[in-house]
Amino acid sequence: MKLTPQQLEQFDREGYLFFPGQFTPEEMKSLNEAVPELYARREAYNVREKGKDAVRTNFAAHMYSKPFAKLARHPRMVQPVMDLFAEEVYMHQFKINGKAAFEGDVWQWHQDYGTWLNDDMMPTERAMNVAIFLDDVNEFNGPLMFIPGSHKKGVVEARHDLTTTSYPLWTVDDELIAMLVERAGGKNGGIVSPHGPAGSMILFHSCLVHASGSNLSPWNRVSVYLSLCAVSNHIGRFKRPEYIAHRNFAPIRCLPDDCLLKDYPVDLPWKDGVPSSALETTTMPFDEMREAA
């Protein structure tokens, strides 16, 4: 999947691209069937909503679930990012975000690179998300909201919110959000929210300011996020567990385009459990760790 000159120009201007129905229902089947069992596990990599049993985020499924290991190597998701960076990429983060019916909580306004910079010491914003809808997304079930063009602002000031939800996030304050929305068009396009069927895909810049509201509808909204980083831009410290911020900087090798429909071999290094080393953390920068070793 190659991006056209028009798509490249749109991405540069708005900070995201939306591809409705990029994957077929047949391709989505094995992914959707795998989610309930993954969410049922009582593991550290399943972060649940504050005070509830519903899963907010499942991390690193590509390390222990074959359907998601294949998705992590899918050319429709990986190739566009390599085109934009003109470089190979590695998997910085892989998550299945659950926005459960009636229970899915908010994701505050934030930039992903803000967290990757502050927590992981990622050198620059040469990393981005590619998201795929596992459920139909509409205006009622907590869809993503973007401020178009907000990536042009670069890294903005953020604070570490440790209390609003069950997952800590570097969030952007209301005053700056109001300014960015007004600059993007105010009530006439200052906030956009891509909706579409299961199998739709979104590619968005790591500095694009985004959020999502709570899901008060009777419809689940589950999405998968591949956070892909240029190999030359790998993180500088391991402050977070490896299931959140990966430490294998090897470039992704894509499978054939029909990989969700056929049985291709994939490596599942955590299929028998997450190793204790993946839970270890340090505030020491990576370069100092190498020197100490």
Domain boundaries of the chain, sorted by first residue = 5-292
Structure confidence at residue 165 as a pLDDT band (50, 70, 90): confident
pLDDT for the residue numbered 291: 58
> Do the Cβ atoms of 200 and 132 come closer than 8 Å?
yes
Report CA torsion sign: 249, 253, 258, 263: negative
- Would you say residue 121 has pLDDT above 80? yes
pLDDT reported for residue 158: 86
Strand 159-161 to strand 169-171: parallel, antiparallel, or no bridges (unpaired)? Answer: antiparallel
**Predicted pLDDT of residue 285:** 80
Q: In this predicted structure, what is the pLDDT of residue 289? A: 62
Segment among 104-113, 131-140, 248-257 with least mean pLDDT: 104-113
Q: Say what percent of the chain tops pLDDT 70.
A: 97
Comparing CA positions, the residue from 239, 230, 231 lying closest to residue 286 is 239
What confidence category does residue 131 fall into, taking pLDDT thresholds of 50, 70 and 90? very high
Residue 292's pLDDT is: 55
For residue 123, the model assigns a pLDDT of 97
Q: What is the pLDDT of residue 284?
A: 79
E strand or H helix at 31: helix 25-40
Task: Provide the token pair at 278.
Answer: 């993946």
Give the pLDDT of residue 89. 98
Asked whether residue 215 carries a pLDDT value surpassing 80, the answer given is yes
Q: What percent of the chain has pLDDT over 90?
A: 88
Architecture of domain 5-292: Sandwich (2.60)
